[in-house]
Amino acid sequence: MTRLVNAPGDFSADAVRGLALAHARYVQQVHGGVVRSTASPAGQVSVVLGGGSGHYPAFAGWVGPGMAHGAVCGNVFASPSASQVESVVRAADNGGGVLIGFGNYAGDVLHFGQGAERLRAEGLDVRIVTVTDDIASGAPAEADLRRGIAGDLLVFKIAGAAAEAGLDLDDVERVARRANARTRSLGVAFGGCTLPGADHPLFEVATGTMAIGLGIHGEPGISEAPLGTAAEVADALLTGVLDEEPERGADGYHGRVAVLLNGLGATKYEELFVVYSRIAERLEELGLTIVEPEVGEHVTSLDMEGLSLTVTFLDDELERYWRAPVDTPAFRRGVVTDRPARSGVIRAAETAAVVPGSTESQELAGRLAVAIRAMAACAVENEAMLGDLDAIAGDGDHGQGMVLGTAAAASAAEEALAAGAGARTLLTRAGAAWSEGAGGTSGALWGAALTAMGNALSDSGGAAPDELAAGVRQGAEAILHLGGASTGDKTMVDALVPFVDTLAAARASGASLGDAWDGACTAAATAAEATSQIVARRGRARTHGEHSLGHPDPGATSFALLMAAVSRELGPAARVNGELT
């Protein structure tokens, strides 16, 4: 259980604030996360890490000399938003370019990718390296699709040391990629974790068994096996990881390995040491030399019971950076000379004031705000159901993500409306707030959709039904473009595409927008239900594809529900007023 909570939605923000107070010598809070509170040499490459919260020490605990310059902190298990990424990167930049690192998850790829794209457009040299160490999450042939788990520590420690040594951005990126290519992990879980505010864990593991191939966001294991002795668990982890040992004597590898035995949050250090004693013994028998091993909690998953083994197959360069001194709140090694405090105040970017729209556009904005409020109420009503659906093959946060996203969008919409915003401004602000408030894959996609729909409208014109329908189409295109999914991948796209197609067809045959919308809602609901027959190929559920069979996709389900809520709220009133004809 996570017992010490004020409000569940504030958990991550409260934790980051506390961390910054407890470790003021190392970090200071900025919008979206933390950056070093110590000065870094001008021109040094900055390393910015990130991801959802719930993994401490990853990632904010690794900010300090020798490792990261900043960490972007999302909500629990949810990616931070693109604007959080931009804010932390700007604050962490020393003029030498920025390497952004995170574990490979769909939501993080979307949000960090969007943030990086915008920063590049401003002229900042930004590179992205994703960690893909989890061997259970994909076959060797598709190693670059694997998830990132505890290997984050080794890859980012090595990348941070390379930046500290003064390498330029090309070289820091090269070293980070090489560290990732040489790092493998495998984990087992004995019990799932419980999200703040929830009363039951995201999954359970039967007594006497262990789930093999856990994710660090409460995703269930990929297979189950009887739980043996500590030595048997050690052997199972070692066999898995060493299966991908590179050839000794080739490509700079001579049997020297960095080893991390990582606790997931609720496994005792002494249990870890019991397992480690076997691992050390076996590695020695196999002729491998362990370099600076780490045994402890480094990449956790709230209160998950379990552990993972990570091995980095070193070459001379990787070993040098793995051994280098580091001084951060949660990871220290060797001696780092004291750094002066960073000077200057870091200001958060200010949001521009709203330029009032035309009366007609303000009226439309008012109706759009009502629609968004209806979506927020619908998300609250369905939060638990959507969370349970996402826990089957995903990480259980879809209900939370939709509630946070719609609530943020609704309050941004209210604020914009009060300032006289037209339709375009209202929707683009609501979109930005959604993606910022929700994090997660669906947050990025919904945020982009609202923003795109807003950009298709104006602050001066009215809203002919065809313009609105075209705006909806633009929103859908944004989801297709950003997410890259097609129908049949078992994502929200499976409900979205029939929705917009039916809407367009009904309009073409002369239906009112209200009637066309109702028909589109029915098509979306049918299509969402039909996703239960599909095995997921995209997003977080890809790894657990077959678990998803027999259950509808959470994102498709929420899409259909939200569109129906809009129809209920706006449809009848609008039709009586004759506005949406």
Nearer of residues 92 and 214 to ligand ADP, judged by Cβ: 214
CA gap 244, 239 in Å, rounded: 9
Ramachandran region, residue 483 (left: φ > 0; alpha: ψ -120 to 50; beta: rest): alpha
Q: In this structure, are residues 134 and 213 in contact, taking their beta carbons and an 8 Å threshold? A: yes
Q: Name the burial class of residue 232, with classes exposed (0-12), middle (13-18) and buried (19+) by CB atoms within 10 angstroms of its CB.
A: middle
Q: In this structure, are residues 365 and 424 in contact, taking their beta carbons and an 8 Å threshold? A: no
Q: Which residues 377-406 are close enough to bind Mg ion by CB under 5 A?
A: 390, 394-395, 397-398
553 binds, among ligand ADP, Mg ion, none (CB under 5 to 8 A by kind): ligand ADP
Nearer of residues 297 and 553 to ligand ADP, judged by Cβ: 553
CA-closest candidate to residue 129, choices 116, 139, 138, 142: 116
Q: How far is the CB of 549 from Mg ion (least distance, A)?
A: 18
Q: How far is the CB of 223 from Mg ion (least distance, A)?
A: 21
Residue of 54, 422, 498, 555 interacting with ligand ADP (CB under 6 A) = 555
Active-site entry in 55, 111, 217, 398:
217
Residue 332, beta-bridge partner list? 327
CA gap 98, 89 in Å, rounded: 7
CA gap 367, 578 in Å, rounded: 13
Q: How far is the CB of 531 from ligand ADP (least distance, A)?
A: 8
Strand-strand pairing, 46-53 and 70-76: parallel
547 contributes a contact to ligand ADP by CB under 6 A: no
What residues contact residue 543 under an 8 Å CB cut-off, 6+ apart? 137, 138, 147, 215, 219, 222
Nearer of residues 44 and 491 to ligand ADP, judged by Cβ: 491
Q: Which residues 371-430 are close enough to bind ligand ADP by CB under 6 A?
A: 390, 394-395, 397-398, 401
Nearer of residues 108 and 152 to Mg ion, judged by Cβ: 108
Total site size for Mg ion, rule CB under 5 A:
5
Nearer of residues 164 and 395 to Mg ion, judged by Cβ: 395
User: Which secondary-structure segment (H or E) carries 127?
Assistant: strand 126-131
Stretch that binds ligand ADP, among 170-178, 327-335, 536-544, 568-576 (CB under 6 A): 536-544
Kindly list the distances between the CA atom of residue 549 and the CA atoms of 526, 530, 536, 542, 546, in Å, as whole numbers in the listed order: 16, 11, 8, 11, 5
Nearer of residues 152 and 553 to ligand ADP, judged by Cβ: 553
Q: Is 69 one of the annotated active-site residues of the chain? A: no
451 contributes a contact to ligand ADP by CB under 6 A: no
441 contributes a contact to ligand ADP by CB under 6 A: yes
Q: How far is the CB of 162 from ligand ADP (least distance, A)?
A: 29
378 binds, among ligand ADP, Mg ion, none (CB under 5 to 8 A by kind): none
Which residues carry out catalysis? 217
Residues that bind ligand ADP (CB under 6 A): 106-107, 390, 394-395, 397-398, 401, 440-442, 445, 479, 483-485, 491-493, 538-540, 553-556
